[in-house]
Amino acid sequence: MPGTHPWFGVDSPPAGRTLSTRQVREVLRHELRDCGTRLQSDVLALQPLLATREAYDELFTSARGLLRLLERAVREAAGDRAGRLAALGTDEVPYPFFVADEDFEMRYAASMARPDVVIGPDGPKFLEFNVSGTFGGPAEIHLFTHAWTRIYGGPGVAPFSGHEPFAARAELYRRVCTELGLPLGVALLGSRLDRPGAQTARYYEVEAEYFRQQGLAAEFVEPADLEGGPGTPRGAGRDLAYPLLHRYFAIDDWRKLGISLDPVHRAVQRGSRLFPPQSSYLVANKKVLAWISEGRPWMTEEDRALVERCLPWTRLVYDRKLAWGGRRHDLADLLLDNQQHFVLKKAIGMMGLEVTLGPYVTGPQWRGEVARALAEGDTIVQQYVEPGRFRMAMSSASGPEVQSVDIAPVLSPVLFGGVPAGCWARYHGSGQAGMIGASGFGATENVLLATGGPHP
């Protein structure tokens, strides 16, 4: 579809840019320096993505409503953790940081979320929910928003605005510390090795500094810092000064990087709390999307209308018959006969690495993945949504020329404690659609902002 999709409500770059193309590139690279952020230096955006205030707010309202349904679906699946794991066809092996306090586990399971959304023919379609403390986006939203505001004249002048992720997360941690009776502070537990190309911990430290400015004690720590020893402040181990540890890591990522989890286990055994809790990954399991798409007995008509409007048709993959397109089908036949209409996703996965897009793979690849999914029972099928386009003003190579590219963005509104926390965006600078991911598929990054003045 040529040009900007009507949902965005904008059809041209925002007026008011105060810097040249060269200066825009310099500002972006400076603000996002040493954070591992991908800017695609050959084709660089000269503007943020923009939507009307109404459309921007709609993303967060819909995200909050769907997240509530996902959290309840997990809670209602069984009366305890063992039953919930069994309902999802898994066990505790992939989740080594569960704690005995199940009230803590479920009370905060959905406290941090970032869905991935495309704008379909009739509006936003939520493809999945990342629910954890690990997902990317908050630092990128903060830095891009600061850069674009500067490029377009500064606060109060720039013709757009957005929610501040660090403020929303700081407020969530302030509330959590109060509820748990802990000191008002949090350690951001991560690793510089998680940021390809970064030489320092700036990606994490900008958030810790923001927290401190808001009166919340904060510090970035690596796992080795939890052990104490020579050269470590408070030699008994930093986790004792910060009993709340923000979990800025994925277990599989650290294992692949050779980072030991032992210091984290020992910190938890000494009483530190990882946040958000391990149960967040149950809410993120894509099988839960299929549960609410197909419907649960407790869902109201309003719930079902929200799902119908905002979720693509999504089902568990196993040998079964089901309805699609107004007819009953054998699922295997439906998938094999309609490859162009479907996407297969493993229930547990991240960064798009366990996703097979029917329209973008060969017939043999598709048939092989369908057979595997039917045999293993670990996959959902989702109706493919062709993404709407946004006409982006971009630099041409390294020169001053400006070109318009119709990009196919994935939008990622962030919620912390149910509070809107800004919207990350990724896309291919070439304008191609298909798999979009900053880490695995070379997409570039940006932010979606709302037209008009500061958010109320």
Backbone angles phi, psi at 198, to 5 degrees: -80, 140
Render pLDDT for 393-419 as a digit per residue (tens, 0 to 9). Answer: 998 766 778 889 999 999 999 999 999
pLDDT band at 94 (very low <50, low <70, confident <90, very high): confident
Residue 448 burial (10 A CB sphere; 0-12, 13-18, 19+): buried
Q: If you search the block for the tokens 């989740």, which residue do you land on? A: 95
pLDDT above 90 covers what percent of the chain? 78
Render pLDDT for 165-195 as a digit per residue (tens, 0 to 9). Answer: 999 999 999 999 999 999 999 999 999 998 8
pLDDT higher than 80, residue 38: no
pLDDT higher than 90, residue 422: yes
Higher pLDDT, 348 or 245: 245
Prediction pTM value: 0.94
Check if the beta carbon of residue 168 is closer than 8 Å to that of residue 421: yes
- Which pLDDT value is given to residue 235? 40
- Which pLDDT value is given to residue 197? 80
- List Cα–Cα distances, 284 to 128, 346, 449, in angstroms: 8, 12, 25
- The number of beta carbons lying within 10 Å of the beta carbon of residue 23 is 12
Maximum distance among all Cα pairs of the chain, rounded to whole angstroms? 69
| Architecture category of domain 313-383 in CATH | 2-Layer Sandwich (3.30)
Backbone angles phi, psi at 395, to 5 degrees: -75, 155
Cα–Cα distance, 99 to 214 (Å, whole number) = 30
Cα–Cα distance, 305 to 310 (Å, whole number) = 9
Q: What is the mean pLDDT of the chain?
A: 91
Domain ranges in the chain are 6-283+388-451, 313-383
